[in-house]
Chains A and B, each alone.
Chain A
Amino acid sequence: MQIYLPIAEISVNMYTLLGLGGIVGLLSGLFGVGGGFLITPLLFFIGIPPAVAVATGANQVVASSVSAVLAQLKRKAVDIPMGLVLLVGGILGSAGGIWVFNLLTRLGQIDLAVQLCYVVFLGSIGLLMLQEAVRTMRRQKKSGGARKKRNQHTWAHNLPFKFKFRASGLYISVIPPLIVGVFVGVLAAIMGVGGGFIMVPAMIYLLNMPTKVVIGTSLFQILFVSAFTTFMHAITNQTVDVMLALLLIVGGVVGAQIGSRLGARLKAEQLRILLALLVILVAVKLGTDLIIQPRDIYSIAAGGHQ
């Protein structure tokens, strides 16, 4: 059944959108990523204008993370103080990122910047995660589940403004999580994603947070940062399409619930390997698009010159 989207100004198949939302929701619940890194390129692919895809993708991420955050809160898997620190950084970063986004759009280099960001960040993080997860699995097989020592003393422990993050079992400065938040916020705005795929590894490897609170806490931050992004896009560019969002959401919330249930049953290492493979796949696809000659080297964009 075809449906005309009022803001995107295009007619698309309703079931395509429901299915797309469902798949992305499933991943969101499973891995604790917003799913934006998949939904935005998929929306481009079905012909939604990029500006609308980015803004509406953010709105869909709000809905799928609300249901997932609620599920995580019930399992007490959210470190709220840590989430708030990440959120402050995220909003600052997002505001800066929107400025960079508009600048690159005017210069006609936004597509390239977005693709390069995807390739570089998704690619390196995917490989890092895959390597780490495989190593942990091997070690567990050999020594019957040796635990990694978590109370390592690093440079981060000498920074001021220390705070006790009870749920994470950490006593660290607020500066590292704040920096992680800013960095994720900038990337989120430029790439049109929630940023979970950057934040989840950053929390595990840089902040040494235990895996059980990582997913819940990152979803908590993603929820509020994408709400902020959606609202900013709605008031500055009028590019949020609620009709499109609603269809993605209906598919997405169902998928997120299933994913969250499924995630509780799988082992953390298996989850990490699956996420790593998915992330690498997207990076490789976008990387080859940059290298092989496009079908048409010309492109047109609505709007004035420079």
Chain B
Amino acid sequence: MMRTLIRPLRLALLLALAPVFAPAQETVSPKPQHPAEQIVAGLSRDNIGITTSFDGSQILIYGAIKREAPEPASDNLAVIVTLEGPLGPLTIRRKSRELGIWVNTASVGVASAPSYYAVATSGPLENILDPRVDVQQRISIPLAMRAFSGPVQVADTKPFTEAMVRIRERQGLYKLETGGVRLVDNTLFRADFELPANLIEGAYKTRIFLLRDGQLVDRYQAAIEVRKVGLERWLYALAHQHSALYGLLALALAVVAGWAAAAVFRFVR
């Protein structure tokens, strides 16, 4: 119980301090050999608590480009920031008309796809990113999906993966924001992300790519922990760790509420 009380306090403290002690996470990714330009970045918060009144959230990812030498002559500098939710398997199904009604007749399994994926760029992707770098780093949305699971039984998987991206985009879970990264004087950058209300718990990975003429110059990676807190955490843990107790609690709640209402109405009459 103490824990659940302390968490929100610690969170509040972190939030208050975050803008002052900027880079909350250390870079974990391997960097290219001695890049002439390096990313120095921070997150407005490295921890999001899902409370009862949670209704989406905002994340500000900001930073600067550190240079040891004067800026190279080429002017095609770009920054891409991605934010990726926990990965999970899913099934994509297609309906067709059989005997007058619409029935699921074909399906494709995906071994792993992010539950949330947002890409913010400082310019149109096709102008700032070499397709080979894209494939290597898996940056653009269609590349977020990892692999198919099980035997693929359809002739062409492309309409299925396109449908997945389309459906998730409609739900606001996948999005590409061209111009979402604001780059000032080729030195300072910031990207704002609006996280939707239907957020899933887990580690959200943010990646920042610094590109020049479409080629990767430097990258930075950090994690944001999204966790249910307080009552939300307690109920979720109870439901999964003590299912029988949770089931009885749900029933008791229903019976008591039902009985109490009857009693109240009897009294009122």
* A binding-site residues for B, Cβ under 8 Å: 1-4, 6-7, 9-11, 47, 59-60, 62-67, 70-71, 108-109, 111-112, 227, 230-231, 233-236, 238, 240, 242-243, 245-246, 249-250, 253-254, 256-257, 290-291, 293-294, 296-306
B60 interface hit (Cβ, 8 Å): no
Give the residues in chain A near B100, CB-CB below 8 Å.
Answer: 291
Give the residues in chain A near B167, CB-CB below 8 Å.
Answer: 296, 298-300
Give the residues in chain B near A108, CB-CB below 8 Å.
Answer: 91, 93, 104, 107
In the assembled complex, the Cα of A225 lies from the Cα of B120 at a distance in Å of: 51
Interface string of B34-69 (1 = CB under 8 A from A): 000000000000000011111110000000000000
The answer to whether B258 and A70 have CB atoms under 8 Å apart is yes
Q: Contacts A2-B197, A298-B93, A304-B89: A242 and B249 contacting too (C-beta < 8 A)?
A: yes
Q: Contacts A298-B93, A300-B92: A291 and B258 contacting too (C-beta < 8 A)?
A: no
Known: A230-B247, A300-B163, A305-B108; 14 extra A-B contacts, CB below 8 A, are A2-B54, A3-B53, A4-B51, A10-B197, A59-B250, A60-B254, A63-B255, A66-B257, A227-B254, A231-B251, A236-B243, A253-B257, A291-B100, A302-B88
In the assembled complex, the Cα of A56 lies from the Cα of B159 at a distance in Å of: 35
Closest to B259 in A: A66
The answer to whether A305 and B53 have CB atoms under 8 Å apart is no
The answer to whether B246 and A240 have CB atoms under 8 Å apart is yes
The answer to whether A7 and B239 have CB atoms under 8 Å apart is yes
Give the residues in chain B near A305, CB-CB below 8 Å.
Answer: 89, 91, 107-110, 149-150
Closest 6 CB pairs of A and B: A305-B109, A66-B258, A234-B247, A298-B163, A253-B261, A11-B197
A4's partner among B197, B262, B265 (CB-CB below 8 A) is B197
The answer to whether B265 and A257 have CB atoms under 8 Å apart is yes
In the assembled complex, the Cα of A60 lies from the Cα of B163 at a distance in Å of: 35
Closest to B263 in A: A70
In the assembled complex, the Cα of A250 lies from the Cα of B240 at a distance in Å of: 25
Give the residues in chain A near B101, CB-CB below 8 Å.
Answer: 112, 290-291
In the assembled complex, the Cα of A246 lies from the Cα of B248 at a distance in Å of: 14
The answer to whether A249 and B90 have CB atoms under 8 Å apart is no
Q: Which parts of B232-269 form the interface with A (CB within 8 Å)?
A: 232-233, 235-236, 239-240, 243-244, 246-251, 253-255, 257-262, 265
We find that the number of chain B residues with CB closer than 8 angstroms to chain A is 66
The answer to whether B261 and A257 have CB atoms under 8 Å apart is yes
Give the residues in chain A near B143, CB-CB below 8 Å.
Answer: none
Minimum Cβ distance to chain A for residue B269 (Å)? 9
Q: Contacts A7-B239, A65-B258: A297 and B250 contacting too (C-beta < 8 A)?
A: no
The answer to whether A304 and B55 have CB atoms under 8 Å apart is no
A296's partner among B96, B166, B254 (CB-CB below 8 A) is B166
The answer to whether B257 and A246 have CB atoms under 8 Å apart is yes
Minimum Cβ distance to chain A for residue B112 (Å)? 10
Q: Contacts A4-B54, A235-B243, A242-B249: A298 and B92 contacting too (C-beta < 8 A)?
A: yes
Q: Contacts A298-B160, A300-B92: A290 and B102 contacting too (C-beta < 8 A)?
A: yes
Give the residues in chain A near B248, CB-CB below 8 Å.
Answer: 231
B146 interface hit (Cβ, 8 Å): no
The answer to whether B109 and A240 have CB atoms under 8 Å apart is no
B228 interface hit (Cβ, 8 Å): yes
B94 interface hit (Cβ, 8 Å): yes
In the assembled complex, the Cα of A298 lies from the Cα of B243 at a distance in Å of: 34
Give the residues in chain B near A235, CB-CB below 8 Å.
Answer: 243-244, 247
In the assembled complex, the Cα of A242 lies from the Cα of B89 at a distance in Å of: 27
B31 interface hit (Cβ, 8 Å): no
Give the residues in chain A near B56, CB-CB below 8 Å.
Answer: 11
Minimum Cβ distance to chain B for residue A301 (Å)? 5
Minimum Cβ distance to chain B for residue A147 (Å)? 33
In the assembled complex, the Cα of A72 lies from the Cα of B260 at a distance in Å of: 15
Give the residues in chain B near A302, CB-CB below 8 Å.
Answer: 88-90
In the assembled complex, the Cα of A4 lies from the Cα of B248 at a distance in Å of: 22
The answer to whether B168 and A294 have CB atoms under 8 Å apart is no
Q: Contacts A4-B55, A11-B198, A234-B239: A112 and B257 contacting too (C-beta < 8 A)?
A: no
B7 interface hit (Cβ, 8 Å): no
Minimum Cβ distance to chain A for residue B95 (Å)? 5
Listed by A's residue number, 24 A-B pairs whose Cβ atoms lie within 8 Å are: A2-B54, A6-B228, A7-B239, A9-B200, A47-B198, A64-B258, A108-B91, A112-B104, A230-B251, A231-B244, A234-B247, A234-B250, A238-B246, A250-B257, A253-B262, A257-B262, A291-B100, A293-B102, A299-B104, A300-B168, A302-B89, A303-B90, A304-B91, A305-B109
Q: Contacts A240-B250, A297-B95: A67 and B163 contacting too (C-beta < 8 A)?
A: no
In the assembled complex, the Cα of A258 lies from the Cα of B248 at a distance in Å of: 28
The answer to whether A306 and B109 have CB atoms under 8 Å apart is yes
B96's partner among A7, A242, A297 (CB-CB below 8 A) is A297
B164 interface hit (Cβ, 8 Å): yes
The answer to whether A243 and B258 have CB atoms under 8 Å apart is no
